[in-house]
Amino acid sequence: MREFIEKMLESIRKSDSEIYEIMMSEVLRQEKSINLIASENFVLDDILACNGSILTNKYSEGYPMRRYYGGCENIDKLEQLAIERLKRLFGAESANVQPHSGTQANMAVYFAFLSPGDTVLGMELNSGGHLTHGSKVNISGKYFNFVPYGVDKKTGFIDYDNVRKLAHEHHPKMIVCGASSYPRIIDFHEFKKIADEVNAYLMADISHIAGMIIAGLHPNPVEFADFVTSTTHKTLRGPRGGVIMCKKEYENKINRAVFPGTQGGPHQHTIASKAMCFRNAFSKEFKEYIHDVVKNCSSMANEFISLGMNLVSGGTDNHLLVLDLSNMRITGRELQERLDSANITTNKETIPDDKLGPQITSGLRIGTSAITSRGMNENDCKTIANLIYLSCTDFDSKKSYIVDIVEGLTSKYPIYL
Ligand SMILES: Cc1ncc(COP(=O)(O)O)c(C=O)c1O
């Protein structure tokens, strides 16, 4: 086992055998399975080290040089460093690195610039939007009047004419763009034009595509959007957390909305690992990694198509693809369960106009960030696509074959062992 991981586990084993058992099982699960969850990744040891560091001991409510606690002189430097790196990475005027998660980042923007009942345009869940973009089961959909827009049902691409029509009809105070499960480039410039036509704020949630933006494989919304939110744990390959970037004129309102508006003390151990993650993201290696993620996804997509499977929007421009299973005589849930039992981890996903609910679904979302982090390449991606195809068509007789191939691939590309 990698020395760093081994030391960490040994220390846990000595103090708490129950946690150790669970942790060890999870190490093996991650090691032995092919992780195709588009929102997950494997962080580098420097990120793990910061996240598990003594910085967790420090309370630091407030912002650099304006804290409510003493003893923040080192923390101030740390948080300022994270802010400066993030601003430089995306070319942003202002940044807040305190949100505990992507959800917290989005809530803070809403809290800063919306009042309960305000109208907002957000992408519907079935088209790939996120819960925090106005779902009825989320506080965003309960407190604000979200009007959903979606993709063109035939093409699977965002229907910008419809977004424009809805904007002129409903006069939203804010338009939210960005998605959890949209495989295509998002035209932030077009969203900005629409927002300007109706005098709405524009918020871009780049949680999934942040890595592609840094690598130059996706347009950067920072010049167009009033607010840009992101998670740091998906394609950015950093710690679990969120960030907000905005124009300088909004900085004070955003900062107040994060603290004291919606959060308490910042997690400085996570802010240290965010700063590390931003530093890593400047590197040539990170950009090469993201190019490989996209190449891998595109090669998997092409293989699915050659096997006769349908993809929402017919393909992918980024790190994820969505299988439309409606012609495969299997639901998203069934396929996810079959794959789970063969150590391939995925998630069921609704597709545009899905007749089945979110618990069953007609789709499956697949991402290549995590497998690329462990070194898998385009040929491996073709192999994996074939395993998924066999899991749809001939699972009972092919299961042991699939399990063997998975075992071979995960042994060839170790993470911890
Ligand atoms: C587009 C988008 N926004 C926000 C979030 C929420 O992030 P978190 O799970 O960190 O709250 C996600 C997570 O999947 C997401 O995909």
Go through the domains of the chain in sequence order and give each one's CATH number. Answer: 51-281 (3.40.640.10), 287-412 (3.90.1150.10)
Please indicate whether residue 18 is annotated as part of the active site.
Answer: no
Cβ neighbours for 103, distance < 8 A, ≥ 6 positions apart? 131, 132, 242
Q: Each residue of 240-272: pLDDT tens digit?
A: 999 999 999 999 999 999 999 999 999 999 999
- Which of these is catalytic: 124, 159, 187, 205? 205
Active site residue 340: no
Ligand 1 near 132 CB (within 6 A)? yes
Split at pLDDT 50, 70, 90, the class of 383 is very high
242-246 and 310-311 strand pairing = unpaired
pLDDT given at position 193: 98
**8-32 per-position pLDDT tens digit:** 999 999 999 999 999 999 999 999 9
Q: Which atom of ligand 1 is nearest to the CA of 179?
A: 1
Protein residue with its CA nearest to atom 5 in ligand 1: 102
pLDDT class of 201 with cuts at 50, 70, 90 = very high
Q: Report whether residue 60 contacts ligand 1, using a CB cutoff of 6 Å.
A: no
| Per-residue pLDDT band at 148 (split at 50, 70, 90) | very high
CA 222 to chain centre: 18
Indicate whether residue 313 lines ligand 1 (CB < 6 A). no
Inter-residue contact 322 to 364 (CB < 8 Å): yes
| Residue 121: predicted pLDDT | 98
Whether ligand 1 lies within 6 angstroms of the CB of 39 is answered as yes
Q: Is the CB of 207 under 6 A from ligand 1?
A: yes
Q: Residue 191 and residue 282: Cα distance in Å, rounded?
A: 27
Q: How far is CA 284 from the centre of its chain?
A: 22
- 221-232, pLDDT tens digit by residue? 999 999 999 999
Q: Does the beta carbon of 234 lie inside 6 Å of ligand 1? A: no
Determine the Cα–Cα distance for residues 382 and 298; give it in Å rounded to an integer.
Answer: 10
- Among candidates 373, 382, 377, which has minimal Cα distance to 415? 373
pLDDT of residue 267: 98
β partners of residue 320 = 367
Nearest alpha carbon to residue 393 among 350, 334, 316, 351: 334
The yes-or-no answer on residue 365 being catalytic is no
> Closest ligand 1 atom, CA of 103?
11
Residues 6 or more apart whose Cβ sits within 8 Å of residue 115? none
Question: For a substitution probing ligand 1, which of 130, 206, 236, 347 has the most ligand atoms within 8 Å of its CB?
Answer: 130
Q: How many whole angstroms from 208 Cα to the centroid of ligand 1? A: 8
pLDDT more than 90, % of the chain: 99
Mean of pLDDT values over 327-350 = 97
Atom of ligand 1 nearest to the CA of 242: 10
Torsion from C-alpha of 383, 389, 392, 393, nearest 10 degrees: -110
